[in-house]
Amino acid sequence: MLPEGMRTEDLRSLTQIGNALWVDRDLSRQRTAETLQAVSLLSIPEEVLLERASSVLLARASREDPASRAAYLGDPFFRLLPEERFVLVALHLERWSYARVARVLQCTPEQVAMRAWKMRVHLASQPLPGRPESSTQPRTPPVLGAVGVAPKKASCPEFQSLNPWTQRFLDEEHAPRERVFLQNHLMACDDCRLALSRCRELYFHVEKMIPRVEGDAAEELGEIGRQMAELRRRVNPELWSWGDAVHAFMKRPEAQVFLSLAMAWLLYRLF
């Protein structure tokens, strides 16, 4: 059972984000379920529900991060900060816009773009975990190739080293009219085609480093749904069964004192 306004695809997105924030899969499912339980108690419009849940999940991951990833620092992706991992999974796997990521991080879309490029450049220089470096690195370092191609024509788009147009093109951040101009320009400009090709190599390398939810997605979603139902049952006494109510009553200190006195009185009467 999902929170009101939460769609199945939103739950799948949040599951993917949680998977990138916590290395341990069971802990990731637990934290995702707890986050959904928390936001379901709030009155949040449907269009921002996923963003609010992502913000809560990210804040918790940031608090728990030093302890949770200590044993996994051999993985370049998990050496990144939780906010950086969130940016990459949101852009590469969920195809969020810079503006949507910026709302979660409470920054500007321009800051998201520059941060994303910095992280992509960093990961592009790292070998894939568990594989020989020679078999995973591109033949030409993609970052040096992309940044090093300087436009030679007046019509070439400006290439900013901290936020290149090739990144915005692959993230589909250009307005339709600007994108049409770039597509037409690429057909006639070898230098810009080479820059875009090498930037695409960088993207493919980075995407291989981002963990994905493996196995049956329905099973993953079902497990989170069951955890959510259990959490909702715990915090809503009106949903308890008779056995749940008795169990909760028996755990109260005053109930245990009463039962101890009652047992002592019964034994006294019998003997």
Structure tokens given for 180: 């049409």
pLDDT top residue among 103 and 43:
103
* N-term to C-term CA, the chain: 54
DSSP class per residue in 66-134: HHHTGGGTTSTGGGS-HHHHHHHHHHHTS---HHHHHHHHTS-HHHHHHHHHHHHHHHHTSPPTTS-HH
HSE-up of 101 (CA within 13 Å, CB side)? 27
Rg of the chain taking only CA atoms, in angstroms: 26
pLDDT at residue 108 greater than cutoff 90: yes
pLDDT top residue among 212 and 221:
212
Structure tokens given for 200: 């695409």
- Per residue in 115-171, pLDDT tens? 999 999 999 888 877 654 544 454 444 444 444 455 567 778 888 888 999 999 999
Round to whole Å and give the CA distance between 126 and 206. 9
Tell me if 41 sits within 8 A of 53, measured CB to CB. no
Round to whole Å and give the CA distance between 143 and 146. 5
Round to whole Å and give the CA distance between 26 and 5. 25
**Averaged over 59-66, what is the pLDDT?**
83
Q: How confident is the model at residue 183 (pLDDT cuts 50, 70, 90)?
A: very high
Q: Which pLDDT value is given to residue 219?
A: 61
Cβ atoms within 10 Å, residue 209 = 20
Q: Which pLDDT value is given to residue 216?
A: 57
Q: Which pLDDT value is given to residue 14?
A: 87
